[in-house]
Amino acid sequence: MTTRYASFTEWLASPLGQYLQTREQAYFDQTVADLFGFNALQIGLSHWDMLRNSRIPHRFHVDIASPGSVLVEPAQLPFASQSVDLLVLPHLLEFSNYPHQILREAERVLIAEGNLLISGFNPRSLWGMHRWYRRSGNDYPWRGDFVNLGRLKDWLSLLGCDIVAGRMCCYAPPLANAGLMQYFEFMEAAGDRWWAMGGGVYFIHAVKRVHGMRLITPRWQGKSKFASALRPATGNLQNGSRYSDE
C-alpha cells in the first residue's frame, strides 16, 4: 500500500491532479469549518492540509508513505479508542488491500457522535470509465481499486455510522491536457444539477452513533422545562464529559 499511495501523491502534482486538489480543498475548507471538538486527525496526504479551516484546537496529520511525516498503518492505528472528534480519510480506501479494516479502525478511534469525512474516486463516472480502459496499466490513480459508493454506505452502516451529508465533484472528463480541461469547466456547475451521481470524486460525511447514550445538559439550565426533559439518568459526571450510558 505504501508504494501505491506514494505514487498517487506524485500524480497529484500533474495538471489533472491539481484540478482534483482545487475542488477537493474547497469541499474540506467548507465542511471542517462547521465541525467542533478537541482532536482532529487527517490520515494520508499529509503535505495537503485538509484541516486548515478547522476550528478544532488540536489538529494532527499522519501519513502512510510521505518522508518526514509520522507514519502509521491505517488498519492498525496507534491511537486510543474514542479519542478523535474529527477524522479525515482522503483517498485512502482505494489504495488499500484492507479498506473495511481501515473503517473499523476509524470507528474505533472516533468518539460517540464523532465526524468522519471520506473522499474517494467514483467508479460510476467518466473517471471510472477511464480507469476501466486503463486497468491493465500501472499508472495512477487508475490502478487503484475504486470503491463503489453503495458498498461504502453499506460498510459504514454495519459499523453504526450514519451518513449525514454527501457531495461529488470532478464531473469533467479526466484529460491530461490542462488547456483542454478548461473547455469542460461548465460541467462542474451542470453536474450537480443534471448528473448528481456522476462526479469523478465523491465525499461522504458520516457520524458515529452509539445507542444507549443520553445527552447531559449544563447545570445552569436549572429546573427549566427543557432541562427537565433532558434530565441525566444517573449521578454527576466528571468535567468535560458529554454523555452518560442509559
pLDDT in tens, 71-115: 899 999 999 999 999 999 999 999 899 999 999 999 999 999 999
Evaluate if pTM is beyond 0.75.
yes
pLDDT band at residue 160 under the 50/70/90 scheme:
very high
For the chain, the three-class secondary structure string (H helix, E strand, C coil) is CHHHHHHHHHHCCCHHHHHHHHHHHHHHHHHHCCCCCCEEEEECCCCCCCCCCCCCCEEEEEECCCCCCCECCCCCCCCCCCCEEEEEEECCHHHCCCHHHHHHHHHHHEEEEEEEEEEEECCCCHHHHHHHHCCCCCCCCCCCCCCCHHHHHHHHHHCCEEEEEEEEECCCCCCCCHHHHHHHCHHHHHHHHHCCCCCCEEEEEEEECCCCEEECCCHHHCCCHHHHHCCCCCCCCCCCCCEEEC
pLDDT over threshold 70, residue 213: no
pLDDT in tens, 9-61: 888 999 899 999 999 999 999 999 999 999 999 999 988 999 999 999 999 99
For the chain, give every domain's residue range: 2-211, 215-245
The better pLDDT of the pair 197, 82 is held by 82
Q: For the domain made up of 2-211, give the CATH fold.
A: Rossmann fold (3.40.50)
